[in-house]
């Protein structure tokens, strides 16, 4: 059968790309950066060195992670993974691992059913390939579970293999129910698939169901069917709980086989050729390999189905270390190893107990590494990988790759962290890198990233994220918002820079710019001391708050302290003097003679400093200084007269 691959062509909407072709670089794990190619100049890392600024286009391959039907599988498996890594030491470890394995398989089955419902509703085959992939994963996982994760008292594996292969032939149960629903004889005449179901149930060890169907045959009362029922009812089935040793069971088995062959040779079943085929199957000679395969092949669609069925009637107490031999015989009969697909090779590796090779094959599965990571995790916890053959699997690297893939997707970055955190140094370094690369699409996402970074004590990630958001606010003219994000960075130098930028903007255009910082600085407590500029800004906001509440005397006292301390940057002094102006003009003044002298000294230093061009470039600097000087002169005269006329030489204080 030929396979046709449907490809999708994506056009890059760029004139330069159309003329000269395209070049590309990996932007991240699943994203390509595409840009125009230039033959004359070198292009490196997506940067056009021709001097002409070109556009870069980013493209991502459609991923399994993008599908909403997979989202629940990813999240559920992550919950199970976290539970596996936090198992209490007090419980039975292998029992808990088996429970977790079944949780994973339950998630797989739910996803398959969800996809099937979706296809039915939408009348599409969109999920057809994914359903096949996950069916194969479930089949492989189940085999690994029954052979290597379950705790078995002996290494007899046929009961487990029968359990596994029955899951692969679930349609037999549906047909069996349809045929037996009438409870009347003549089922072989009413149902065309009667014998197919009888043979199918027989080959997966469902002997009671096989007998029930044979009793509905139109000739069920004949001697041949009576003898067949007797043989099926007496077939020895090995069980550890039976108390029989392997040698005792073998003796019974050989006796039963001898009885089957003797009845075949006596011609008991010649009256019904279909029944004779059935009896020949159960009486097959273990030494006649080719004859056995010829009998079983019409009823088995795969080599592993035939292997299990043949073992059921030739070697029911087969040991796990013999499975590879029997598997290879069946594979040769089905066309040899060249015919094996990836799923077949993985199953063969599990039957051969070569878990490292099985995991290697699982890594090639088109599920983004989901199965290989989670199954290997359980095998690792169970200690199954320690003594297996083949090249050692680097489980840490698998976690790194899977975690990085998840973190490169906007919907799963938090999930990806839980895998990377188990990789010690390498994982934590990668976590930092990936957190810094996450696009900050909203303030909510930025806050989530910061919360996670704090959880892992990634102070540099917190700082960088805050700086990116601060710059974003600055570009949008929101200096108050920028200051809020700068404060979260806890970087004194950066906070100084933003507070300074805030003050410069306010100083240059105080008529248009609102202060609006009191809400940001409220309740910071000792945190304002992280930066000298921030400390000043907090006190300056406090001054405005007092002034707005008409607590003018308190506001005047605080303003004088700010002017006298000279903690404000020099370019901001004129702003402080302008703030003092209305308080100077009040009758009587809120400033004493000494206060006014401090204001005058500040003004004189400001006007005589010819080196500070920034101060002189302040809008209306000359006009403002002239007005302030007049107000100071008037206030000095007023306060001097008032204070000198006071008998006790006490300063006049207007109380409120």
Q: Which residues on neighbouring strands pair with residue 33, listed in sequence order?
A: 25, 58
Spell 254-273 as b/e; 16+ CB within 10 A means b.
Answer: eeebeebeebbeeebbeebe
**What does the DSSP assignment read for 345-411?**
HHHHHHHTT-HHHHHHHHTTSTTTTHHHHHHHHHHHHTTTTSS--SSPP-HHHHHHHHHHHHHTSTT
Assigned token pair, 21: 């072709």
Helix count and strand count (H, E) for the chain: 32, 5
Tell me the pTM: 0.77
pLDDT-flagged residues of the chain (< 50): 1-7, 39-52, 649-656
- Contacts by 578-584, CB closer than 8 A, 24 or more apart: 578/510, 578/624, 578/628, 579/543, 579/547, 580/556, 580/628, 581/627, 581/628, 581/631, 583/552, 583/555, 583/556, 583/559, 584/628, 584/631, 584/632, 584/634, 584/635
* 238 burial level (CB within 10 Å; 0-12, 13-18, 19+): middle
Q: Residue 453: which residues within 8 A CB-CB, separation 6 or more?
A: 435, 459, 461, 462, 465
- What integer pLDDT is reported at residue 516 of this predicted model? 56
């Amino acid at each position: 059968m030929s396979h046709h691959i449907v490809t999708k062509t994506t056009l890059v909407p760029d004139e330069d790309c159309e003329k000269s072709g395209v070049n590309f670089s990996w932007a991240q794990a699943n994203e390509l950066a595409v840009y125009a190619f230039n033959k004359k100049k070198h292009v490196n890392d997506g940067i056009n060195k021709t001097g002409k600024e070109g556009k870069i286009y980013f493209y991502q391959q459609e991923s399994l992670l993008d599908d909403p039907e997979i989202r629940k599988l990813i999240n559920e498996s992550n919950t199970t993974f976290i539970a596996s890594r936090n198992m209490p030491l007090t419980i039975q470890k292998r029992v808990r691992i088996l429970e977790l394995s079944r949780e994973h398989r339950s998630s797989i089955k739910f996803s398959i059913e969800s996809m099937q419902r979706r296809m039915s509703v939408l009348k599409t085959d969109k999920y057809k390939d994914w359903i096949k992939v996950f069916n194969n994963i479930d089949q492989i996982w189940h085999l690994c579970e029954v052979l290597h994760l379950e705790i078995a008292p002996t290494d007899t594996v046929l009961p487990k293999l029968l359990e596994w292969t029955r899951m692969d032939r679930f349609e037999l149960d549906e047909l069996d129910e349809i045929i037996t629903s009438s409870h009347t004889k003549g089922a072989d005449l009413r149902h065309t698939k009667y014998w197919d179901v009888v043979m199918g149930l027989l080959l997966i060890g469902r002997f009671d169901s096989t007998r029930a169907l044979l009793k509905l045959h139109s000739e069920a009362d004949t001697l041949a069917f009576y003898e067949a029922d007797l043989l099926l009812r007496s077939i020895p089935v090995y069980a550890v709980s039976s108390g029989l040793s392997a040698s005792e069971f073998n003796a019974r088995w050989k006796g039963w086989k001898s009885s089957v062959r003797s009845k075949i040779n006596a011609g008991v079943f010649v009256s019904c050729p279909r029944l004779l085929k059935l009896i020949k199957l159960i009486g097959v000679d273990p030494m006649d390999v080719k004859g056995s395969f010829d009998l079983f092949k019409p009823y088995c669609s795969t080599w592993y189905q035939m292997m299990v069925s043949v073992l059921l009637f030739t070697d029911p107490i087969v040991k796990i270390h013999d499975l590879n031999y029997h598997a290879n015989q069946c594979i040769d009969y089905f066309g040899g190893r060249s015919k094996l697909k990836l799923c077949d090779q993985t199953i063969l590796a599990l039957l051969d107990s070569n878990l490292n090779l099985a995991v290697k094959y699982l890594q090639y599965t088109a599920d983004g590494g989901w199965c290989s990571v989670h199954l290997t995790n359980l095998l690792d916890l169970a200690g199954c990988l320690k003594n297996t053959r083949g090249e050692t699997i680097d489980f840490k690297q698998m976690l790194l790759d899977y975690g990085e893939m998840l973190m490169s997707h906007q919907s799963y970055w938090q999930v990806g962290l839980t895998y990377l955190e188990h990789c010690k140094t390498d994982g934590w370094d990668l976590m930092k890198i990936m957190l810094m690369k996450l696009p900050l699409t909203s303030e909510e996402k930025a806050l989530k990233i910061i919360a996670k970074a704090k959880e892992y004590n990634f102070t540099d990630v917190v700082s960088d994220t805050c700086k990116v958001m601060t710059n974003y606010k600055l570009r949008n003219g929101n200096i108050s918002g920028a200051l809020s994000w700068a404060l979260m960075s806890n970087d004194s130098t950066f906070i100084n820079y933003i507070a300074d930028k805030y003050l410069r903007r306010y100083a240059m255009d105080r008529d248009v710019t609102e202060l609006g910082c009191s809400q940001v600085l409220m309740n910071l407590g000792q945190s304002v001391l992280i930066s000298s500029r921030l400390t000043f800004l907090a006190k300056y906001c406090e001054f405005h708050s007092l002034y707005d509440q008409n607590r003018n005397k308190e506001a005047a006292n605080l303003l004088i302290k700010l002017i006298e301390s000279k903690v404000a940057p020099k370019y901001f002094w004129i702003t402080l003097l302008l703030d003092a102006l209305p308080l100077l003009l009040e009758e009587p003044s809120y400033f004493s003679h000494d206060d006014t002298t401090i204001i005058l000294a500040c003004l004189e230093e400001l006007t005589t400093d010819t080196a500070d061009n920034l101060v002189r470039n302040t809008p209306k600097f000359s006009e403002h200084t002239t007005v302030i000087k007049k107000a100071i002169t008037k206030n000095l005269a007023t306060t001097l007269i008032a204070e000198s006329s006071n008998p006790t030489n006490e300063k006049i204080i207007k109380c409120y």
